[in-house]
Structure 1
Amino acid sequence: MNNPARSIPAPEQLLAALDPDQRQVAEHVKGPLCVLAGAGTGKTRAITYRIAYGAATGLYDPAQVLAVTFTSRAAHEMRSRLADLGVDRVQARTFHSAALRQLQYFWPTAVGGQCPRIEEQKISLVAQAARRLGVSTDRATLRDLAGEIEWAKVTMTLPEHYARAAIEHGRSGVAGVESSTVASLMSCYEDVKSERGTIDFDDVLLILVGILGEREDIADQIRRQYKHFVVDEYQDVSPLQQRLLDLWLGRRRTLCVVGDVSQTIYSFSGATPAFLSGFSQRYKDATTVSLTKNYRSTPQVVWLANTVLTGRGPRARSMPAGAVTLISQQSSGPAVTYSTYDDDEAEAQGVVERIRELAGSGVPLREIAVLYRTNAQSEVFEQALAEAGVGYTVRGGERFFQRQEVKRAMVLLRAASKADLTGDLGRDVRDVLSHEGWSEEPPAARGAQRERWDTLNALVELADHLAGTRGADMAVFLQDLSERAQNQHAPSVDGVTLASLHAAKGLEWDAVFLAGMSEGLLPISLAEGKEAIEEERRLLYVGVTRARKYLNISYAKARNAGGRASRRYTRFLQGIWPSDEEQRQAFKKDKRHHVGQSTTATQGSRRAQSKAMQEEFVANNDEKTVELFEHLRKWRSRVAVSLSKPAFFVFSDVTLRDIAIHKPTTMDEVLSVRGIGSVKAEKFGPGVIEAVNAFLNGDIDDESDDSGATSV
């Protein structure tokens, strides 16, 4: 069936759905507007209703609106909300997407021929330039140098001016390379690109800026197309993006910007809140509206968010310039909890124990997140979750639409769209995906089979959502999937989310665990200078404001078990972090939201649980499988010693038991074992295969060195 076009609600209906501050945003459809929107205050709602209000009153032609933001996910969300309001033809895109579309269209006229291919990764180009200059590099150095080239481009810093700019911005000695060498590398990098006949993503903006600056006829054509501009996350605009925006606008003033200086966390890559904080100076007659009503989080979470920005006690300060003080609109919730652990492994296991409690009380796993400062911190939580049989997804890991089961599912769905369907989207999608392995009930065990089911079930739930909100049929569903695949906007998968604080920006969950919140990790030891430290403070603010109801903050005194307990909690929580006595009192007051526990008791509980699991394993498996498990434990011990790592770094006992049961002899079989992802398989898979084959062939000598230790 065809979906009837939705009509835009009447202007008064649109305004009635907003609070007074949001209504002020929606009604201001002429002239420059600056919206200072705190976290969780409904900024996307305000700006989409503003566009809809402009269209409903006849003041806007939706096709003449260009709304830009910084992530494909955010752009897709904006388009989706506008579609729900019956507003189509609005161009909601990222800066790069909008610029690329224009560049490809005007390239034949402005330059001639076809637009060059875009290099998606700078690393190989940087590596080639470094080799030509005789610069010694490793992958980490190449990544840092690629980042510095990107910074120079978005700040419009030429190679000949780089050395001076690096000093002015405190960027000298990036990756241990002298500024003069970095400048030479930048020039050589451009030569390599020219020889390949390619451009990079930053060139898309730079070249378009050059064309619009030189070709007034092309600039005028764009200005006739787009008469109204909206920029979301304006605190993250770079000088290059601002220059492009100025060229799009020309002399017009039909601009609405939305941002939050408290969420500026990308200064290292060239973003600056100066354009947001200085908007009223650039546009003297601009209207400024502050959105302060937080609809996301409980008063307990909001209080902490505000206090993180101002501090507490003798060192307390006023709210930073341009920041808003949030006011929670939610009812009171559980207290924010604070947990201290002996080491990283104990912290991960403590967090997982609390996750299981929340899940048992009815909080869906997809509504729980563990956030940390660096990606390297994820591994210990992955291990602990796998050991506990709790599903998880790592944000920034394998992309949803690159998974084989998703690719196959989309092929099947497209084929089904050409056949006879029931007209019930949810039922049709279920029928199709049942041939790919989806079923009404999920598999009982975790592992690869359950992960595939979770992925397919995300498609089923998305179909239900679109059918319920838009009356979508299969054609609309496939179109939505195609847009999501293009923008890498994956539907939600049932499982705990693991993500860095940077990757969590723009997202929210019922329950958030901020892990590793200690000095050296937050602020990270690399942060030097007042501005860098303040950006780390804002990063904590972003993490806190991701939580709707439950928020736990933790850190470990030492990295490894038995290590020196030299860590202390982050300076940003001085005067906030409760004393041991306060934690004990809070624990007695409400065990459901306890903030501390006896390390000895916890360790005893873990030992008892481990013993029970081993007894169950022995009882349910044959003697040969149990012997293989013991053989694998000795193999693991040797590998761990050779790496100077704890045993769990290699594999947990739970994973070793699964290996013993399945006895994998190929890499595909290794990957099918619960708790083994691609990284673990690459590091330890060959050693596992060798150890299993040696045992099965009776060719074992547990006292000798095992080549598995060298397979990393």
Structure 2
Amino acid sequence: MVGERRLLDGLDPEQRTAVLAPRGPVCVLAGAGTGKTRTITRRIAALVHQGHVAPGQVLAVTFTARAAAELRTRLRDLGVGGVQARTFHAAALRQLRYFWPRVVGDAPWQLLERKPTLVAQAAHRLGVDTERETLRDLIAEIEWAKGTLVTPGDYPRAAARRTPPVAAELTARVYDGYERLKNEARLLDFDDLLLHTAAALEEHQEVAGEFRDRYRCFVVDEYQDVTPLQQRVLDAWLGDRDDLTVVGDANQTIYSFAGASPRWLLGFSRRYQGSTVVRLERDYRSTPQVVALANGLIDRAKERPAGSRLRLVGQRQDGPEPTYGEYDDEPAEARAVARRIRELVESGTAPSEIAVLYRINAQSEAYEQALSEVGVAYQVRGGERFFARQEVRQAVRALRAAAGEEDPGRDPGGRPDADLPARVRVVLAPLGLTAEAPPGQAARERWESLRALADLAVELARAVPEADLRRFCADLDMRAEAQFPPTVQGVTLASLHAAKGLEWDAVFLVGLVDGTLPIQHAEGDDAAIEEERRLLYVGVTRARDRLWLSWSLAKVEGGRRYRRRSRFLHGVIPDGHPVSLASRTRRREEGNAVGTAPRPTCRVCGRALVGASEVKLTRCADCPSDVDQDLLERLRRWRAERATSLRVPAFVVLSDATLLAVAEQRPSDRAGLVAIPGIGATKLDSYGADLLAVVREKTQLNG
């Protein structure tokens, strides 16, 4: 056990307050880079050290297997190895398997392995389109509904408060059919694990009593991301107790589309009277220049709930200012990023310490090609799992065989008492682990995987000096199960969502144009737009030293340069910055070009409009809206009804941007309707009378 004095070494005053807070409800509001994992692991160790709880009585939950594995590793290093650190779903699965015989009585139901197959079967029975995009939307809606405790019967009413991608009544029927098929096959999906666990504790007092005797103390990481279903499980775990520590940052809430909400984090002190609330705002990750940009970005949020205003304070020495780049097209942007990355690598930055982050996965292709052309290795996060690679599976088999054959204290080469890293290198050498990287992309990728395994052996030997090959193989099994791969020497390509919880020395945020960030389907929904802002904030705060932000005016080479940099950068990039001056000059030149048609201008500020969404609204995306919210809701309900009757997704009737334009401009006749881009002759004939009737009815109510 690490001594209490050592537990406090290196902590700042706020971290110490959190670690030493009395047993009971504690809320740690922890900004990006403020050392939240160090704080909560040391708090757990302190509670154990002080005798308040035994390691086996602590249940710490988080949202990814990787984060749970990191918690276990850090707690092990602190001498607190018996703590249960798991994801919500892994914890629920473990509990459900144990209590199932008493709660249900028959053989445990199996986990559903292929949800798309079952959802497609339910949809097919109803004659619903099962193309990939529709199926993906249906699955997302079902998962949202279950995560927010919405049943199939309640779904249409709940969906009326949002803009579902598929007609609500149709989704409800598919959802109901999916649940019936799943239950008939005696299968459970991941959300069922949580639902059944909560029900078992709520409805069976003896089960709840046994569980609560076992677990006395609870810790929840990333608490801003809990869904109503996860909060229900947590409430069932706790019962009437309050021995709970939560950690989170409302500024990093980026999963609202899945039902996550920061309201439990922000309302913690009201729910638990007398709780300890600690704010961690000292940023140890990023340079002051990166921190300043992050603060400037989040300060411009239109809506920030009370209690969420964490303002980071950089603790590191000054670094370079963020770099901004505007390019004619996406290939040019990708080539510029690749060249800069090559320069960083050649000057000594490890490729694994560089990341290219984008809003949607489809953006990765241009950067994969550009990096290949300049000879820089990369890995696409979210692609094939490390431990599923053929060369890794082969290496693990060889390590297991060597572990079973060798005598204690001897390595496969016959040298007594050789250290673990040396043993691992001997085993992996015949498979391709050489002193220097081989030529060729395929051979290099294999070598990088093997070297990553060798580096893991070094890491384990430092933490556990007596570790042997058997222990190493067990550690690899744990990592494979937890999806906690080692670092591979390649530049990381990842979506902003996939980057959450990670950090790099150099981060390239690319494709920052309106329509991509914020994503186009967020238009017309202020809450969705603000979530997109938080997504960019998460991307910015991944950078330790260097930050590059770029965008391109056209998608393809030679294409029309109609795109505009993300509205989130307005006011963040100084007006006197070269990229701002160049952008204004370019717009003037384009406006003065001979034969160039006059560009539509904003009815609020008079600037030229860029992009289809702005043209529809006849205003800049960041200019104030004069939308009639009640009219917009009426239009959305009308659209949902038409989509249901036509058996088509809502956006096929009219897009969100078009509905918003109608609600802002409130046309009184067909001429006013057809003046709105997106309402052509066909849509005017199909929906014009209905739209005018909805607008007229609302106008009469106001009059």
Give the TM-score band, short-chain normalised.
Answer: 0.7 to 0.9
Task: Tell me what 1:452 maps to.
Answer: 446
Residue 568 of structure 2: which of 569, 572, 576 is its match?
572
Contact 1:309 1:320 in 2 (8 A): no
User: After superposition, where does 1:218-257 map in structure 2 within 5 Å?
Assistant: 218-257=207-246
2:537 and 2:281 map into 1 onto residues whose CA distance is 15
Residue 357 of structure 2: which of 361, 371, 375 is its match?
371
1:337 has 2:331 as partner: no
1:271 has 2:260 as partner: yes
Please report how far the alpha carbon of residue 585 of structure 1 lies from its aligned counterpart in structure 2 after TM superposition.
Answer: 10
User: After superposition, where does 1:539-688 map in structure 2 within 5 Å?
Assistant: 539-578=535-574, 582-583=578-579
1:154 has 2:169 as partner: no
1:426 has 2:426 as partner: no
Residue 293 of structure 2: which of 297, 304, 326 is its match?
304
Please report how far the alpha carbon of residue 29 of structure 1 lies from its aligned counterpart in structure 2 after TM superposition.
Answer: 4.0
2:304 and 2:245 map into 1 onto residues whose CA distance is 28
> Helix, strand or coil: the match of 1:59?
coil
Contact 2:573 2:580 in 1 (8 A): no
Task: Tell me what 2:163 maps to.
Answer: 171
Residue 89 of structure 1: which of 78, 82, 88 is its match?
82
1:462 has 2:437 as partner: no
Q: Which stretch shifts more, 372-381 or 189-198? A: 189-198
1:446 and 1:25 map into 2 onto residues whose CA distance is 51
Q: Which stretch shifts more, 542-551 or 469-478? A: 469-478
> Helix, strand or coil: the match of 2:326?
strand
1:319 and 1:350 map into 2 onto residues whose CA distance is 39
> Helix, strand or coil: the match of 2:153?
helix
Residue 526 of structure 1: which of 521, 527, 530 is its match?
521
Residue 103 of structure 2: which of 100, 107, 110 is its match?
110
Residue 138 of structure 1: which of 131, 141, 145 is its match?
131
1:288 has 2:288 as partner: no
Give the direction of change, closer, same or farther, for the CA distance of 1:184–1:585 in structure 2 (3 Å limit).
closer
1:272 and 1:111 map into 2 onto residues whose CA distance is 32
1:27 and 1:352 map into 2 onto residues whose CA distance is 47
2:360 and 2:338 map into 1 onto residues whose CA distance is 19
Contact 1:66 1:229 in 2 (8 A): yes
1:294 and 1:319 map into 2 onto residues whose CA distance is 22
Task: Tell me what 2:177 maps to.
Answer: 188
Residue 486 of structure 2: which of 488, 491, 509 is its match?
491
Please report how far the alpha carbon of residue 579 of structure 1 lies from its aligned counterpart in structure 2 after TM superposition.
Answer: 5.0
Contact 1:239 1:271 in 2 (8 A): yes
Give the direction of change, closer, same or farther, for the CA distance of 1:581–1:30 in structure 2 (3 Å limit).
closer
Contact 2:507 2:543 in 1 (8 A): yes
Amino acid at match of 1:287: T
Amino acid at match of 1:222: F
Amino acid at match of 2:19: A
Q: Which stretch shifts more, 332-341 or 572-581? A: 572-581
Amino acid at match of 1:98: A
Q: Which stretch shifts more, 577-586 or 549-558? A: 577-586
Please report how far the alpha carbon of residue 580 of structure 1 lies from its aligned counterpart in structure 2 after TM superposition.
Answer: 7.4
Please report how far the alpha carbon of residue 320 of structure 1 lies from its aligned counterpart in structure 2 after TM superposition.
Answer: 6.4
Amino acid at match of 2:222: E
Unaligned runs of 5+ in 1: 1-7, 587-595, 597-712
Please report how far the alpha carbon of residue 583 of structure 1 lies from its aligned counterpart in structure 2 after TM superposition.
Answer: 4.6
Contact 2:31 2:249 in 1 (8 A): yes
Task: State how many pairs are aligned.
Answer: 572
Alpha-carbon displacement from aligned partner over 1:214-255 (angstroms, at most 9, x marks no partner): 101101111000000000000000001001101100111100
Please report how far the alpha carbon of residue 131 of structure 1 lies from its aligned counterpart in structure 2 after TM superposition.
Answer: 0.5
Please report how far the alpha carbon of residue 318 of structure 1 lies from its aligned counterpart in structure 2 after TM superposition.
Answer: 7.8
1:13 has 2:6 as partner: yes
1:474 and 1:263 map into 2 onto residues whose CA distance is 40
Residue 30 of structure 1: which of 23, 37, 43 is its match?
23
Contact 2:59 2:217 in 1 (8 A): yes
Please report how far the alpha carbon of residue 439 of structure 1 lies from its aligned counterpart in structure 2 after TM superposition.
Answer: 0.7
1:159 and 1:579 map into 2 onto residues whose CA distance is 51
2:581 and 2:358 map into 1 onto residues whose CA distance is 28
Please report how far the alpha carbon of residue 399 of structure 1 lies from its aligned counterpart in structure 2 after TM superposition.
Answer: 0.6
Task: Tell me what 1:633 maps to.
Answer: none
1:54 and 1:28 map into 2 onto residues whose CA distance is 9
> Helix, strand or coil: the match of 1:160?
coil
1:120 has 2:127 as partner: no
Residue 392 of structure 1: which of 378, 382, 386 is its match?
378
1:585 and 1:87 map into 2 onto residues whose CA distance is 57
Please report how far the alpha carbon of residue 498 of structure 1 lies from its aligned counterpart in structure 2 after TM superposition.
Answer: 0.1
TM-score by structure 1 length? 0.79
2:2 and 2:245 map into 1 onto residues whose CA distance is 22
> Helix, strand or coil: the match of 2:430?
coil
Alpha-carbon displacement from aligned partner over 1:90-140 (angstroms, at most 9, x marks no partner): 000000000000001111111123221111332111100000011113101
Please report how far the alpha carbon of residue 485 of structure 1 lies from its aligned counterpart in structure 2 after TM superposition.
Answer: 0.4
Amino acid at match of 1:334: P
Task: Tell me what 1:500 maps to.
Answer: 495
User: After superposition, where does 1:312-323 map in structure 2 within 5 Å?
Assistant: 321-323=307-309
Give the direction of change, closer, same or farther, for the CA distance of 1:319–1:270 in structure 2 (3 Å limit).
closer
Alpha-carbon displacement from aligned partner over 1:644-663 (angstroms, at most 9, x marks no partner): xxxxxxxxxxxxxxxxxxxx
Alpha-carbon displacement from aligned partner over 1:316-364 (angstroms, at most 9, x marks no partner): 9989641310011110001100001111100110000000111111100
> Helix, strand or coil: the match of 2:279?
strand
Task: Tell me what 1:201 maps to.
Answer: 190
Alpha-carbon displacement from aligned partner over 1:252-308 (angstroms, at most 9, x marks no partner): 110000000000000000111111011111111111000011110000000001111
Task: Tell me what 1:73 maps to.
Answer: 66
1:164 and 1:549 map into 2 onto residues whose CA distance is 48
Amino acid at match of 1:501: L
Contact 1:67 1:90 in 2 (8 A): yes
TM-score by structure 2 length? 0.80
2:358 and 2:239 map into 1 onto residues whose CA distance is 42
Give the direction of change, closer, same or farther, for the CA distance of 1:133–1:62 in structure 2 (3 Å limit).
same
Task: Tell me what 2:45 maps to.
Answer: 52
1:17 and 1:362 map into 2 onto residues whose CA distance is 29
Query: CA RMSD of the aligned region, Å?
Result: 1.7
Contact 1:389 1:446 in 2 (8 A): no
Contact 1:338 1:578 in 2 (8 A): no
Alpha-carbon displacement from aligned partner over 1:552-598 (angstroms, at most 9, x marks no partner): 00001100011110111111110122457535999xxxxxxxxx9xx
Alpha-carbon displacement from aligned partner over 1:499-537 (angstroms, at most 9, x marks no partner): 000000000000000000110000000113110000000
1:583 and 1:379 map into 2 onto residues whose CA distance is 26
1:454 and 1:580 map into 2 onto residues whose CA distance is 44
Task: Tell me what 1:40 maps to.
Answer: 33
Task: Tell me what 2:312 maps to.
Answer: 326
Unaligned runs of 5+ in 2: 412-416, 587-703
Percent of paired sites with the same residue: 55
